[in-house]
A and B are shown apart, each in its own frame.
Chain A
Amino acid sequence: AQKITQTQPGMFVQEKEAVTLDCTYDTSDPSYGLFWYKQPSSGEMIFLIYQGSYDQQNATEGRYSLNFQKARKSANLVISASQLGDSAMYFCAMREASHASGGSYIPTFGRGTSLIVHP
Chain B
Amino acid sequence: NAGVTQTPKFQVLKTGQSMTLQCAQDMNHNSMYWYRQDPGMGLRLIYYSASEGTTDKGEVPNGYNVSRLNKREFSLRLESAAPSQTSVYFCASSPTGDMNTEAFFGQGTRLTVV
> Are A103 and B97 neighbours in the complex by a CB distance under 8 Å?
yes
Which of A9, A43, A45, A100 lies in contact with B40, CB distance below 8 A?
Answer: A9
A35-B102 contact, Cβ under 8 Å, with A45-B90, A102-B51: yes
Q: State the total of A-B contacts with C-beta under 8 angstroms.
A: 80
What's the minimum C-beta distance from B78 to chain A, rounded to whole angstroms? 20
**Can you name the residue of chain A whose Cβ is closest to the Cβ of B88?**
A43
Q: How many positions in chain A have a CB within 8 Å of any CB in the partner chain?
A: 32
- Check if B56 is an interface residue, CB within 8 A of chain A: yes
CA distance A96 to B49 in the complex (A): 17
> Are B99 and A109 neighbours in the complex by a CB distance under 8 Å?
no
Chain B residues with CB under 8 Å of A107's CB are: 33, 92, 94, 103
> Are A110 and B42 neighbours in the complex by a CB distance under 8 Å?
yes
**Chain A contact residues, majority secondary structure:** strand
> Are B50 and A101 neighbours in the complex by a CB distance under 8 Å?
yes
Interface size class on chain B is: 20 to 34
Which of A32, A110, A112 lies in contact with B99, CB distance below 8 A?
Answer: A32
Q: Per-position contact with B for A1-21: 1 when CB-CB < 8 Å, else 0? A: 000101001000000000000
Chain A residues with CB under 8 Å of B45's CB are: 106, 108
Q: Which of B30, B103, B107 has the most CB of A within 10 A?
A: B103
> Are A44 and B30 neighbours in the complex by a CB distance under 8 Å?
no
- Which residues, 89 to 114 on B, are CB-close (under 8 Å) to A? 90, 92, 94, 96-105, 107-108, 110
Using a CB–CB distance below 8 Å, which chain B residues touch chain A?
30-31, 33, 35, 40-45, 48-51, 54, 56, 58, 88, 90, 92, 94, 96-105, 107-108, 110
Extra contacts besides A6-B42, A104-B30, A104-B51 (14): CB < 8 Å:
A33-B100, A35-B102, A45-B108, A50-B101, A50-B102, A96-B99, A101-B50, A104-B96, A106-B45, A106-B58, A107-B94, A111-B40, A111-B41, A111-B42
Using a CB–CB distance below 8 Å, which chain A residues touch chain B?
4, 6, 9, 31-33, 35, 37, 43-45, 47, 50, 52, 91, 93, 95-97, 100-112
